[in-house]
Amino acid sequence: MMLQGANDMHFRMRGFIYLFCTLLLFGCSEDVDNSVTSTDQAGHSIGKKVSAPVFQSISVTEVYKLIEQKTDLSLIDVRTPQERKQMRIAGSRLVPVGDVIRGKVIFPPDKPVILVCAVGGRSYIAGKALVSRGFSRIYNMDGGIEAWRRAGLPLERGPEPALSASSEQKSKQVQ
């Protein structure tokens, strides 16, 4: 019995260290200026502004409006399957935060990606990871699914329908 408690503590400590290191790696500041000045081959500024990747937090009401407008976007839930079973946003896809950080999932480069977690921390980290790999339109849902629930926005609950074999093959590539 004591061995089980020690294993649980070790597992939690590893998780904390992983999260802490990830935060240090990707930083905690939001990008404000979405443009950069391009340079020539010698590294001199040529004064031309080019668009940099967009990464920002947006409110649950903004996310809801985008979904209602049927905007072509990917709504990605980075929580655990157990958390998702409790409540989720209709149309969202489960991609655990670790898979996003490790680059195990392919996101469409032409679609904005909105990331959702419980309160906004894991989705923020996942967003920073995607931006560092060159994805251009990444949004963090501020306050996570808890803010969505508190706003009284619609949620699905319980187990999700089973995936067909062809759906499982597509699960590595987010639509």
Catalytic residue among 117, 118, 138, 147: 117
Active site residue 28: no
How far, in Å, CA of 43 to CA of 80, rounded?
Answer: 44
Residue whose tokens read 């990605």: 76
CA distance 18 to 12: 10
Map tokens 């391009």 to a residue: 38
- Is residue 147 classed as helix, strand or coil in its secondary structure? helix
> What count of other Cβ atoms lies within 10 Å of the Cβ of residue 44?
8
**CA distance linking residue 143 with residue 57, whole number of Å:** 9
Per the DSSP assignment, residues forming a β-bridge with 45 are 39
**By the 8 A CB rule, do 74 and 100 touch?**
no
Q: Which residues are catalytic?
A: 117
